Amino acid sequence: MIVGLLMLSSTITSLTVVLIVFFLFKEGVAVFEKKPVEDGYTIVINKNNKVRKLTSEEIKNIYDQKTTFWSQLGAKHDSIILFRVEDIANFYTEDQIGANFENLPSCLSSIVDSIPGIIAFFPEKYLAKNFKGKQLDIDKVSLKEFFGGEEWYPTAQPSAQLGVKPLILGTLWVSFGAILLALPLGLAAAIYMSEIADERIRRIMKPLIELLAGIPSVVYGFFGLVIIVPIIQKIFNLPVGETGLAGSIVLGIMALPTIITISEDAMRNTPREMKEASLALGASKWQTIYKIVIPYSISGISAAAILGIGRAVGETMAVLMVTGNAAVIPHSILEPMRTIPATIAAELGEAPSGGLHYKALFALGCILFVITLVINLTVEFVSSRRKGGNH
């Protein structure tokens, strides 16, 4: 009976995990089934235009007026004429269109027919039955675009830009910066607590550090926003203080308790006899620390570092509050950055359920999941090496 209950609860837990992962990937992978154009909209061109297919990037370049001739896309040398549905007023009067837009489809149809270089973007419902233009075939979101694209404008019209590179890079920059700050500090604290501080100081410090792990992340974010952001702005004389660095500092502080407690535990596991043997051979305390204690506990220390990174990679709220959230490829830690978790948290509420943007956010979740999975597997690997006694 009890065995059954225990088995049931562990089965439920495992099933939940599997279900979450399945759901995440089902939604996330579906982004590659979608076209990067908002549902219910269409893009049309003149029927004599040879172009059949465009990628979202090509469409974006057209609308950004970077591509101005069809010849750049392999067609006749016509200059590209952009047309949005509101431009209809330049061609027809309100009377001609009709009070309830009842003549709009045929108006659009004849405009597209009369201008050879036109590209028009309008809702599909205004497509006339005997439309005299050609509907563009738009490529589905490709892996190359998704991972290689450098712009994240999931709601851009007419064609969404779903390049996750700036987000991945932002996540890595912020996390890497965090670990760069937290690791030396955390290791120093761990060495101090395990090897130098006497028992009394340790008994005060350890709970304090563990308390740091219990502070809600919004509080960290708030602290970062009120204290760290203005300081960074002042020191580096920046227009805004919300930068990757601010995120790194806040995340570094958040990763500290993990790093300190785990590496301290590992160091305290160094057998006393081993340290004594080193000291008895005339090694100084420092020599003993870096020649015996650190090598002995190196797998624990690496596990601490990796778990610290894991904490930093997955953190959402605090980062969202202090990094400035600009989805551009970062060139320095002093620029605003946007991380994957912050993107999901900030945008999911605005993304229509089941739409392109929504699926793209789930795909981001998949990426995050893979990153943390890799981190966890690394920890497993590192600590299994320790158990094997392979020093």
Partner 1 sequence: MYKLESKHVDFFYGASQALKDINISIEENTVTALIGPSGCGKSTYLRLFNRMNDLISNTTIKGEVLIDGLDVYAKGVNVDSLRKKTGMVFQKPNPFPKTIFENVAYGLRVNGITDEKLIQERVESSIKKVVLWDEVKDKLKKSAFELSGGQQQRLCIARALAIQPSVILMDEPTSALDPISTAKIEELVYELKSKYTIVIVTHNMQQAARVSDKTAFFYLGELIEFNITRELFTNPMVERTQNYITGRFG
CB 275 → partner 1: shortest distance, Å?
8
Site size for partner 1 (CB under 8 A): 21
Is the four-CA dihedral 322, 326, 330, 331 of positive or negative sign?
A: negative
CA neighbor of 168 nearest in space, from 334, 327, 332, 310:
327
Looking at 154-162, 179-187, 234-242, 283-291, which segment touches partner 1 (CB under 8 A)?
A: 283-291
Looking at 211-219, 275-283, 343-351, 375-383, which segment touches partner 1 (CB under 8 A)?
A: 275-283
End-to-end CA distance of the chain: 44
CB 358 → partner 1: shortest distance, Å?
52
Figure out which of the listed residues 279, 346, 348, 366 binds partner 1, where binding follows CB under 8 A. Answer: 279
Alpha-carbon distances, residue 288 vs 193, 350, 388, 390 (angstroms): 15, 57, 24, 20
Should residue 278 be labelled a site residue for partner 1 when binding is judged by CB under 8 A? yes
Number of helices (H) and strands (E), helices first, in the chain? Answer: 17, 8
CB 280 → partner 1: shortest distance, Å?
4
| Cβ atoms < 10 Å from Cβ of 92 | 16
| Cβ atoms < 10 Å from Cβ of 329 | 18
CA neighbor of 20 nearest in space, from 379, 344, 366, 374:
366
Looking at 136-144, 172-180, 259-267, 286-294, which segment touches partner 1 (CB under 8 A)?
A: 286-294
CB 203 → partner 1: shortest distance, Å?
13
Should residue 292 be labelled a site residue for partner 1 when binding is judged by CB under 8 A? yes
Sheet holding 134-135, edge to edge: 81-84, 118-123, 41-45, 134-135
Should residue 389 be labelled a site residue for partner 1 when binding is judged by CB under 8 A? yes
Lookup: tokens for 79? 């200059």
Should residue 273 be labelled a site residue for partner 1 when binding is judged by CB under 8 A? yes
CB 190 → partner 1: shortest distance, Å?
19
Should residue 287 be labelled a site residue for partner 1 when binding is judged by CB under 8 A? yes
Lookup: tokens for 82? 């952009």
- Judged by beta carbon, residue 109 or residue 278, the one nearer partner 1 is 278
Which residues from 176-215 bind partner 1, rule CB under 8 A? 198-199
Residues of this chain that interact with partner 1 (CB under 8 A) are 198-199, 271, 273-274, 276-284, 287, 291-292, 295-296, 389, 391
